[in-house]
């Protein structure tokens, strides 16, 4: 497998960090388990009645993934925090018996730190998932899990995102009493996707595209959102992410033969939920790329399929299906003579209030 940018120059950091993910996930799996088990035991004892997750950017998409995990795995009602209600409007919610989970790579965004502090004062049990145990957010929360991705230097988050997903999956699995062993297959599946380099054929197809739609359902919806973000921040595409259900409620009207649609359709429930969407896209003769299940892609005549290894299914497939889309964002940026390591106007740590 060739890795764009590794010889130096634009994209060198992002390419290296994408390629590092199998090693990162395998290492973090083993290193984080004692910490995850300790936090899971604390959560079992606390018995929260409701969960609120908070995050920004890629971490917000990881939080959305956590929301699906908690609702399907623990049966608890769960919501995504509107941070400005705490930091701007000075709302004082009643958060007794509530678990507050703040997800951040750097742990440095002021609004995440302040809202977590306010959530604790309002009675919530607070947990931070970060890539920096010494960060202000880690210090602000009662509990902390280090996602263990190691230093990430490219502005575009890649390995920290998949490490966040893995930490959330391991935590919820442990709260349910699981041993986490299903996640052992993920690093090899990610390595297989990287070795196949299935997106290289999309470079010419998408080189001059200015708008693109990404679609998912269930656990693939965070992937659709994260891939759109990667394409926006690295290649400056107008990429719009939709739940498959939301796409059918209006935005489908803007789909035509000239705008590609990337459908994240893995095997299992998430893929089945997208069957009506794939049918509607086929009727509109849309230029469809399926990331996930080759059978669905063939049945609905997708122009291109980027397969995801069958050894990883269900919620864990999200850790694998995002990887080829990270590569696509990298390669498109390089084809457009852009530097995905240093997108214009962005920095590694974004401080919002």
Task: Tell me the per-residue pLDDT of 132-175, one tens digit each, with 9 for 90 and over.
Answer: 999 999 999 999 999 999 999 999 999 999 999 999 999 999 99
What distances in angstroms separate CA 228 from CA 43, 58, 131, 172, 212, one per listed residue? 33, 10, 23, 26, 8
* Mean pLDDT, rounded, for 227-242: 95
SS3 labels along the chain? CCCCCCCCCCCHHHHHHHHCHHHHHHHHHHHHHHHHHHHHHHHHHHCCCEEEEECCCHHHHHHHHHHHHHHHHCCCCEEECCHHHHHCCCCCCCCCCEEEEEECCCCCCHHHHHHHHHHHHCCCEEEEEECCCCCHHHHHCCEEEECCCCCCCCCCCCHHHHHHHHHHHHHHHHHCCCCCHHHHHHHHHHHHHHHHCCCHHHHHHHCCCCEEEEEECHHHHHHHHHHHHHHHHHHCCEEEEEEHHHHHCCHHHHCCCCCCEEEEECCCHHHHHCHHHHHHHHHCCCCEEEEECHHHHHHCCCCEEEECCCCCCHHHHHHHHHHHHHHHHHHHHHHCCCCCCCCCCCCCCCCCC
Alpha-carbon span 350 to 215, nearest angstrom: 26
208 — pLDDT class (breaks 50, 70, 90): confident
> Residue 189's Cα: distance from chain center in Å?
17
Q: Which residue has the tokens 């269900």?
A: 314
Q: What is the model's pLDDT at position 270?
A: 93
Residue scoring higher pLDDT (3 or 109): 109
- What pLDDT score was predicted for residue 3? 47
Q: What does the alpha-carbon distance between residue 54 and residue 85 come to, in Å, rounded to a whole number?
A: 12
What is the spatial order of strands in the sheet that 125-130 belongs to? 78-80, 50-54, 98-103, 125-130, 143-146
Mean pLDDT of 5-23: 86
pLDDT at residue 5 above 70? no
C-alpha span between 173 and 167 (Å, rounded): 10
pLDDT score, position 8: 67
Percent of the residues in the chain that have a pLDDT greater than 90, as a whole number: 87
- Distances in whole angstroms, Cα of residue 68 to Cα of each of 61, 63, 165: 11, 9, 11
Residue 1, pLDDT above cutoff 70? no
How buried is 125 (Cβ within 10 angstroms: 0-12 exposed, 13-18 middle, 19+ buried)?
buried
Which residue reads 């590694």 in tokens? 348
What mean pLDDT value characterizes the chain? Answer: 93
Average pLDDT of the residues in 30-35: 94
Residue 7 confidence (pLDDT) above 90: no
Question: Confidence band (pLDDT; 50, 70, 90) for 274?
Answer: very high
- State both tokens at 282: 């086929």
pLDDT band at 52 (very low <50, low <70, confident <90, very high): very high
Q: What is the pLDDT of residues 312-353, one digit of tens each?
A: 889 999 999 999 999 999 999 999 999 999 998 887 777 676
Question: Crossing angle of helices 318-335/221-235, nearest 10°?
Answer: 20
Q: What is the mean pLDDT of residues 224-242?
A: 96
| Residue closest to 172 by CA, chosen among 93, 78, 86, 95 | 78
Instruction: Name the band, by pLDDT with cuts 50, 70 and 90, for residue 207.
Output: confident
* 16 token code pair: 């290296």
Cross-strand bridge partners of residue 127: 101, 143
């Amino acid at each position: 497998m060739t890795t764009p940018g590794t010889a130096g120059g634009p994209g060198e950091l992002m390419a290296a960090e994408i390629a590092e993910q199998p090693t990162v996930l395998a290492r973090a799996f083993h290193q984080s388990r004692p910490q995850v088990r300790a936090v899971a035991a604390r959560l079992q004892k606390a018995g929260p009645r409701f969960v609120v997750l908070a995050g920004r950017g890629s971490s917000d998409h990881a939080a959305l993934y956590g929301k699906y995990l908690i609702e399907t795995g623990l049966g608890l009602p769960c919501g995504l925090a509107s941070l400005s209600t705490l930091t701007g409007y000075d709302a004082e919610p009643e958060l007794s018996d509530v678990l507050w989970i703040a997800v951040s790579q750097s742990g440095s965004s002021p609004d995440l730190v302040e809202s977590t502090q306010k959530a604790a004062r309002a009675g919530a049990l607070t947990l931070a998932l970060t890539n920096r145990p010494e960060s202000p957010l880690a210090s602000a929360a009662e509990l902390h899990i280090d996602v263990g991705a190691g230093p990430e230097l490219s502005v575009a988050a890649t390995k920290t995102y998949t490490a966040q997903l893995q930490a959330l999956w391991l935590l919820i699995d442990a709260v349910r009493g699981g041993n986490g062993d299903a996640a052992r297959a993920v690093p090899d599946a990610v390595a297989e996707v990287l070795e196949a380099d299935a997106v290289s054929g999309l470079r010419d197809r998408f080189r001059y595209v200015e708008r693109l739609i990404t679609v998912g359902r269930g656990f693939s919806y965070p992937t659709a959102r994260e891939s759109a973000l990667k394409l926006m921040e690295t290649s400056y595409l107008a990429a719009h992410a939709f739940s498959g259900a939301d796409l059918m409620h209006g935005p489908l009207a803007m789909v035509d033969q000239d705008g590609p649609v990337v459908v994240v359709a893995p095997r299992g429930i998430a893929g089945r939920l997208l069957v009506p969407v794939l049918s509607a896209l086929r009727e509109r003769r849309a230029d469809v790329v399926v990331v996930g299940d080759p059978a669905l892609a063939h049945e609905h005549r997708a122009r291109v399929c980027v397969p995801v290894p069958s050894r990883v299914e269900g919620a864990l497939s999200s850790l694998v299906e995002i990887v080829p889309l990270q590569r696509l964002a990298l390669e498109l940026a390089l084809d457009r003579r852009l530097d995905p390591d240093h997108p214009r106007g962005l920095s590694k740590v974004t401080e919002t209030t």
